[in-house]
């Protein structure tokens, strides 16, 4: 290996895009490090070496990829396990190791937390409005709850604002999904079949107080609206409903179509109607730009392409990921479906990974699959991320690495993955069609619920199912669930 | 010499028969008493349950979140069943000698249109009686079977119709089109098996002279056939010609439950004497296979309704056994039956284990009801 590979060992500083070739004596050090006796010693030696080469003031922990695979054993074991002969050229890459966030904060809630979003200087809603004035004290966390309320919090666990309750212009069922459209506009979706747009206003006093006032309500879905995605610059909203359709809506009231009258609460024959119409402000009602048909089962997740906002993705319990061309909306919604990719399991969550040209989807079969959305692509599932013990219901891309992904599961955990590498699936394992044949990736670390500390694990994540999650560069990984808690995990400063 | 093993047909490996339920994905906690009966709604998003605590509950299937709790009365709820079809969403619940019809107002798929359609289905019979200028002639022939509103307290919760019959109803089964349903009240003697017409609020008793104690019943999906199980046999009646077609002999001492394969030619039978039988109706009146996987009574059996080759049973030993069961159209070839997985999790409580099981309409998921007061989703 020494003779044949020395000159070919190349290092790439992937995050900064900096590439370096080694001096002869540095390569000698590297070889020594690579052949260190124990895996720990080896990783430490490699890390020290790279830090000294980079002349870093503060040592940074690194991970090493050899031929695209994470090196987690000794090199000898690695070469044997992967059937690599000593004659082969090795490509070595080092990347900043993902560190388990050590600082946590929790906010108690009155009821199950179904969904969370964040507002920070680096969050989408702030970037869309070019609002660079969101310092630490103005960072906000948005939560949706099964009690039907939308809440805004500061990062010190203090409640800043609560949406109106049922009868006062609020939702008449549990909230399933919430998003910041801008620093002053919120969107929520509910079991009550509606999507609501809210104006969010903060006082300039300290501590800040704020109000959430209904702007208008969107009608069109025939069943619960379980997930939404928003795009600030266009004011577009996508919705995933258990009525099997994908809704396309506008947050601009003046250009929104009229609401379909047969779905309004005023057409309810039940006594519920009397309860609902009692008092309360009259909130304007609007309808969808389009309801995209195609899925054959509940739609569970929607996403805009971050690089091409006229492209949308949806996932469904019908096992498919569908790609939609929003330029066809509203004139020819029947032609909006671009492609449909089928996997072996019902899909429950979605996240676009633009740097990889892949779409991640969480399954009811306890995995995350990385799907190539293109109709012509030879392989539907590029990789399978395994380790969760229950349905994967929320996904978020790392704010710093195009390879980083976080997944939230009904097993009561959030897992963080680096989707590089992976090993060939063991035959006969949890194999199902395409998923069984691809590469299997294991998670880098796991974030359990703080509320479970010191308590025995319950079957099926009972009491601690994670239901919603967001990942922000400034705030960290924010998650909420059945434990009635919002939990923040972030790296120590 | 020929190895006798080599003559046996090779069974496929369970791994190759995925997907099938293997893992508990949600626990539905809240009932204060044994959960007797469960049913997944026709859209596959809502679970209904009925328990000894006298309540009917509705849950979000995927999360286990309770959406509505309706207190029917003090008597145990022995059966909950959805009316088939998606145009209307109606749940029937049996409590004592009464059957209640519920339009669950809090479930998300209850749009104004679905609610109206559901009300029409339940109320049509009131109009029918009035329209004839007669005070419900059908129920007058059968004193004790009355159709009425259940009172304002229940009506506010969406319970809009009540039928009173002679004895405690243990089983409700709907015809596929939702217009007819049958009730079985084993202690009801000549009134034990009744067939009801929802649109006319009419009750008929076609099986007044039934040999043996009736236990359960089911309708054929496409032919006018009706299956009645007594303790030892399953009788198949032609409803249009009003005659007995066949009497199946499963070989069990006490049948608990039956379910028809959606194709209509194969019937599974569960028995309190720990076994389960598969009958090929074209083949014989005796079972094609008898399956003994349990140490206690089998209380419920269910074939996947959405075309997946799966069936499952529920037992007082606290487990459920999932099987692969593929039916082929070829008359020369028999069904392939392979045991796949034992689902464990329910706690045996006062010698009772799993009391009911139901499938998701499309996915390879099932839900179980336990004497331990919980329901469980398996995926
Ligand atoms: Mg046959």
Q: Is the pLDDT of residue B325 over 80?
A: yes
Preferred mutation among A193, A342, A346 to probe B, highest tally of B CBs within 10 A? A346
Cα-to-centroid distance, B323 and ligand 1 (Å) = 18
Task: Evaluate if residue B57 carries a pLDDT over 90.
Answer: yes
At A82 the pLDDT is 74
**Chain A residues touching B116 at Cβ < 8 A:** 269
* B254 upstream amide cis, omega within 30 of 0: no
Residue A403 in tokens:
């390879």
Fold match flag (A2-96 vs A103-490)? no
Of residues A389 and A437, the one with the higher pLDDT is A389
pLDDT digits (tens, 9 = 90+) for A399-455: 988 999 999 999 999 999 999 877 776 544 444 444 455 688 888 889 999 999 888
On the 0-12 / 13-18 / 19+ scale of CB atoms within 10 A, A381 is buried
Q: Which domains does chain B have, with CATH numbers?
A: 12-378 (2.130.10.10)
Rounded distance between C-alpha atoms, residue B290 and residue B270, angstroms: 10
Chain A contact probe: residue of B18, B105, B108 with most A CBs at under 10 A: B108
> Which residues of chain A lie closer than 8 angstroms to B18, CB-CB?
430-432
Give me the mean pLDDT over the A260-276 stretch.
73
Tell whether A272 lies on the interface with B, counting CB pairs under 8 A.
yes
A275 membership: H or E segment, kind and range? helix A272-277
Is the distance from CB of B80 to CB of B101 less than 8 angstroms?
A: no
% of residues, chain A, pLDDT over 70: 80
What angle (nearest 5°) sits at the alpha carbon of residue B296, between those of residues B295 and B299?
Answer: 135
Most confident of A41-45, B4-8, B324-328: B324-328
How high is the pLDDT of residue A387?
94
Question: Is A390 in contact with B25 (Cβ distance < 8 A)?
Answer: yes
Q: Using the predicted structure, report yes or no on whether residue A10 has a pLDDT greater than 60.
A: no
Percent of chain B with pLDDT over 70: 92
Residue B333's pLDDT band, with cuts at 50, 70 and 90, is confident
- Please enumerate residues of B whose Cβ is less than 8 A from a Cβ of A: 15, 18-19, 23-27, 29, 43-45, 60, 62-65, 67, 103, 105-106, 108-109, 111-116, 119, 155-156, 158, 345, 362-363, 365, 376-377, 379
Q: Is the confidence at residue B16, as pLDDT, over 70?
A: yes
Q: Tell me the CA–centroid distance for residue B282 and ligand 1, in Å.
A: 7
**Contact state of A269 with B156 under an 8 Å Cβ cutoff:** no
pLDDT over 70 at B134, yes or no: no
Mean pLDDT of all residues belonging to chain B: 92
Interatomic CA distance for residues A359 and A298, integer angstroms: 19
| Window from A159-173, A219-233, B55-69 with minimum mean pLDDT | A159-173
φ, ψ dihedrals at B56, nearest 5°: -110, 135
A461: three-class secondary structure by DSSP:
helix
Interface check for A457 against chain B (CB to CB < 8 A): the answer is no
- What CATH fold (topology level) applies to the domain A103-490? Methylamine Dehydrogenase; Chain H (2.130.10)
Give the CATH fold of the A2-96 domain: Ubiquitin-like (UB roll) (3.10.20)
pLDDT of residue A181: 97
Question: What whole-number distance in Å separates Cα of residue A100 and Cα of residue B354?
Answer: 42
CB B63 to CB A467 under 8 A?
yes
More confident position, B258 or A168: B258
Q: Give the domain ranges of chain A.
A: 2-96, 103-490
Label residue A272 by pLDDT band (50, 70, 90). low
What's the average model confidence in pLDDT over B55-82?
A: 97
Mutate to test the interface with B, among A222, A362, A434 (most CBs of B within 10 A): A222
Measure B332 CA to ligand 1 centroid, in angstroms.
Answer: 7
Question: How many angstroms separate the alpha carbon of residue B2 from the centre of ligand 1?
Answer: 29
Of A46-55, B28-37, B230-239, which gets the smallest average pLDDT? Answer: A46-55
Distance between Cα A475 and ligand 1 center (Å): 62
A386 touches chain B (CB under 8 A): no
What's the pLDDT at A424? 74
Judge contact between A462 and A449, C-beta under 8 A.
no
Q: Count of H helices and E strands in chain B?
A: 4, 29
Residue B51, phi then psi, degrees to nearest 5:
-135, 170
Q: Please, are residues B338 and B308 in contact by the beta-carbon 8 Å criterion?
A: no
Residue A62's H or E segment, with its range, is: strand A62-66
| Orientation angle between helical segments A24-34 and A39-54, nearest 10 degrees | 160
- Asked if A173 and B108 come within 8 Å (Cβ–Cβ), the reply is yes
Closest-CA distance of chain A to residue B340, Å: 14
Identify the burial level of A27 via C-beta atoms within 10 angstroms of its C-beta, where 0-12 means exposed, 13-18 middle and 19 or more buried: middle
- CB-nearest partner of A432 from B18, B114, B158: B18
Residue-level pLDDT at A19:
40
């Amino acid at each position: 290996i020494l003779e044949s590979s020395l000159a070919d060992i190349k290092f790439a500083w992937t995050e900064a895009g900096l590439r370096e070739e080694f001096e002869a004596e540095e390569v000698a050090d590297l070889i020594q490090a690579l052949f260190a006796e124990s895996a720990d010693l080896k990783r430490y030696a490699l890390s020290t070496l790279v830090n000294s080469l980079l002349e870093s003031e503060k040592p940074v922990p690194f991970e090493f990829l050899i031929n695209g695979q994470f090196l987690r054993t000794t090199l000898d074991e690695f070469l044997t396990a992967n059937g690599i002969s000593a004659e082969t050229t090795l490509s070595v890459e080092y990347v900043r190791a993902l560190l388990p966030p050590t600082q946590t904060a929790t906010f108690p809630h009155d009821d199950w937390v179904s969904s969370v979003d964040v507002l920070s200087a680096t969050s989408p809603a702030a970037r869309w409005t070019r609002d660079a004035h969101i310092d630490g004290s103005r960072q906000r966390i948005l939560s949706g709850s099964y009690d039907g309320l939308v809440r805004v919090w500061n990062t010190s666990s203090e409640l800043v604002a609560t949406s109106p309750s049922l009868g006062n212009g609020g939702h008449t069922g549990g909230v399933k999904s919430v998003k910041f459209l801008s620093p002053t506009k919120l969107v929520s979706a509910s079991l009550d079949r509606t999507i609501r747009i809210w104006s969010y206003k903060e006082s300039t006093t300290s501590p800040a107080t704020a109000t959430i006032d209904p702007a208008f309500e969107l009608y069109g879905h025939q069943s619960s609206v379980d997930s939404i995605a928003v795009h600030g610059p266009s004011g577009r909203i996508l919705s995933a409903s258990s009525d099997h359709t994908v809704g396309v809506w506008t947050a601009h009231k003046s250009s929104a179509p009229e609401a379909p009258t047969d779905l309004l609460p005023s057409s309810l024959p039940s006594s519920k109607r009397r309860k609902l119409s009692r008092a309360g402000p009259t909130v304007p009602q609007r309808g969808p730009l389009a309801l995209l048909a195609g899925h054959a089962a509940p739609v569970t997740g929607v996403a805009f392409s971050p690089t091409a906002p006229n492209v949308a993705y949806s996932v469904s319990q019908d096992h498919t990921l569908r790609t939609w061309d929003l330029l066809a909306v509203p004139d020819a919604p029947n032609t909006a479906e671009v492609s449909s990719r089928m996997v072996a399991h019902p899909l429950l969550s979605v996240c676009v990974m633009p740097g990889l040209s892949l779409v991640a989807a969480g399954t009811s079969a306890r995995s995350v699959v990385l799907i190539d959305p293109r109709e012509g692509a030879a392989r539907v599932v590029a990789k399978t991320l395994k380790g969760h013990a229950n349905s994967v219901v929320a996904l978020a891309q790392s704010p710093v690495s195009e390879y980083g992904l976080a997944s939230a599961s009904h097993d009561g955990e959030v897992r963080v993955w680096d989707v590089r590498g992976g090993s060939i699936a063991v035959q006969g394992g949890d194999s199902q069609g395409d998923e069984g044949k691809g590469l299997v990736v294991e998670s880098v670390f796991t974030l359990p619920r703080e509320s479970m500390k010191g308590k025995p694990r319950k079957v099926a994540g009972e009491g601690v199912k994670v239901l919603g999650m967001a990942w922000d560069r400034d705030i960290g990984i924010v998650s909420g669930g059945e434990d009635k808690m919002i939990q923040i995990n972030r790296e120590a400063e | 010499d020929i190895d006798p093993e080599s003559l046996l047909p090779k069974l496929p490996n369970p791994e190759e028969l995925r997907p099938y339920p293997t893992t508990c994905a949600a626990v539905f906690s809240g009932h204060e008493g044994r959960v007797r009966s469960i049913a997944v709604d026709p859209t596959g998003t809502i679970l209904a349950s009925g328990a000894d605590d006298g309540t009917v509950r509705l849950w979000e299937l995927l999360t286990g979140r309770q959406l509505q709790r309706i207190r029917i009365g003090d008597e145990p709820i022995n059966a909950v069943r959805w009316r088939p079809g998606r145009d209307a969403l109606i749940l029937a619940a049996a409590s004592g000698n009464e059957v209640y019809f519920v339009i669950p107002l809090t479930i998300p798929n209850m749009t104004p249109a679905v609610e109206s359609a559901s009300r029409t289905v339940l109320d049509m019979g009131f109009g029918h009686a009035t329209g004839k200028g007669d005070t419900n002639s059908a129920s007058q022939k059968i004193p004790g079977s009355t159709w009425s509103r259940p009172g304002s307290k229940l009506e506010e919760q969406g319970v809009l119709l009540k039928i009173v019959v002679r004895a405690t109803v243990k089983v409700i089964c709907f015809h596929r089109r939702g217009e007819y349903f049958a009730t079985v009240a084993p202690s009801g003697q000549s009134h034990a098996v009744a067939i009801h017409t929802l649109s006319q609020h009419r009750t008929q008793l076609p099986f007044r002279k039934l040999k043996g104690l009736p236990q359960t019943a089911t309708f054929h999906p496409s032919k006018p056939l009706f299956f009645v199980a007594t303790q030892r046999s399953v009788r198949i009646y032609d409803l249009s010609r009003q005659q007995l077609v066949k009497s199946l002999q499963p070989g069990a001492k006490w049948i608990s439950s039956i379910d028809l394969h959606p194709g209509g030619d194969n019937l599974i039978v569960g028995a309190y004497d720990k076994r389960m039988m598969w009958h090929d109706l074209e083949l014989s009146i005796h079972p094609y296979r008898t399956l003994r996987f349990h140490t206690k009574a089998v209380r419920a059996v269910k074939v996947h309704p959405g075309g997946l080759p799966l069936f499952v049973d529920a037992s007082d030993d606290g487990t459920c056994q999932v099987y692969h069961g593929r039916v082929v159209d070829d008359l020369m070839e028999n069904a392939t039956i392979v045991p796949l997985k034992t689902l464990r999790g329910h706690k045996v409580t006062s010698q009772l284990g799993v009391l009911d099981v139901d499938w998701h309409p499309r996915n390879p998921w099932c839900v179980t009801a336990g004497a331990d007061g919980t329901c469980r989703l398996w995926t």
